[in-house]
Amino acid sequence: MALMSEPVAESARPSYILCDAAICYGPLGQVANGDIMSQMHSGFPHPDHDHGSCVSETLARAEEACGARGLRLTPLRRRVLEILAESHAPLGAYDIVEKLKKAKESSPAMSVYRALEFLTGEGLAHRIESKNAFLACTGGHEGDDIVLFMLCERCGTVAEINSSALGRDLAQAAKAAHFTPKVPVLEVSGLCGRCRESGARRK
């Protein structure tokens, strides 16, 4: 499901939490407490965040998950996930093929598609439907969580937010409509904080 967001007044900001590598921020930039941090996993990356650590943690989680499930994180699957984790903007399959080619690690497009199918099937990566592109998963999800993606229309960065509260609301709405959701993902387009602030400064 993809939604387009409209500009909102400061007083009408939604109460989601955006996190960088060190701190979580709530509405109006207030620092969130630990309880809320546990409900909302991640958000837009801080410009000074440790990107190398970001990538290595994503790969370590994937290796642990595959080991626990008795699955193989083959070299190509791992490399595709690494490429996705290196970008905080969604990448298409052919973007990945080109990056592999530039790194002299050429792989057929079909093999990359199969790797992406495995990664998304195991919840290690997500498909951004509105862009027909893929993004590395930044953390694990509970069974009732819904994954909320906030897509910045200007810089292309995507924030991944996990919310069990949204998941419960969706489950209740689906039950009332006698509907079975297949992919519990919500996409919202708009502007990230940095792009909104840079736009305001130019005015």
- Do 147 and 114 fall into the same domain? no
Residue 129: count of CB within 10 angstroms of its CB? 13
Out of 69-73, 160-164, 188-192, pick the least confident. Answer: 160-164
Tokens read off for 197: 């602030």
- Do 80 and 132 fall into the same domain? yes
Residue 111 has pLDDT above 90, yes or no: yes
Q: What is the CATH number of the domain that holds 127?
A: 1.10.10.10
Q: How many domains does the chain have?
A: 2
- Do 156 and 113 fall into the same domain? no
In the chain, how long is the greatest CA-to-CA distance? 55
- Do 44 and 87 fall into the same domain? no
Three-class secondary structure of residue 113 per DSSP: helix
Tokens read off for 35: 């309880």
Amino acid of residue 106: S
- Do 146 and 112 fall into the same domain? no
The predicted structure's pLDDT at residue 18 = 36
What ranges in 43-108 are assigned the alpha helix state H?
51-69, 75-85, 93-102
Q: What is the CATH number of the domain that holds 149?
A: 3.30.1490.190
Does any domain span residue 42? yes
Which has the higher per-residue pLDDT, 42 or 198?
Answer: 198
Residue 164 has pLDDT above 50, yes or no: yes
| CB-neighbour burial class of residue 27 (10 A; exposed 0-12, middle 13-18, buried 19+) | middle
Does any domain span residue 55? no
Residue 59 has pLDDT above 80, yes or no: yes
Provide the domain limits for residue 185: 16-48+141-202
- Do 170 and 189 fall into the same domain? yes
Three-class secondary structure of residue 174 per DSSP: helix
Query: What is the share, in percent, of the chain residues with pLDDT greater than 90?
Result: 39
- Do 145 and 119 fall into the same domain? no
The predicted structure's pLDDT at residue 133 = 94
Residue 175: count of CB within 10 angstroms of its CB? 11
- Final residue of a structural domain among 136, 152, 172: 136
Which has the higher per-residue pLDDT, 130 or 202?
Answer: 130
Contact indicator for 42, 64 with CB cutoff of 8 Å = no
CA 178, CA 159: separation in Å to the nearest integer? 31
Residue 174 has pLDDT above 80, yes or no: yes
Q: What is the pLDDT of residues 61-78, one digit of tens each?
A: 999 999 999 999 999 999
- Final residue of a structural domain among 136, 171, 189: 136
Q: Does the predicted model carry a pTM greater than 0.85?
A: no
CA 195, CA 89: separation in Å to the nearest integer? 14
- Do 131 and 83 fall into the same domain? yes
- Final residue of a structural domain among 136, 170, 188: 136
Does any domain span residue 7? no
Residue 90 has pLDDT above 60, yes or no: yes
- Do 128 and 151 fall into the same domain? no
- Do 117 and 153 fall into the same domain? no
- Do 130 and 145 fall into the same domain? no
Does any domain span residue 10? no
Does any domain span residue 112? yes
Does any domain span residue 167? yes
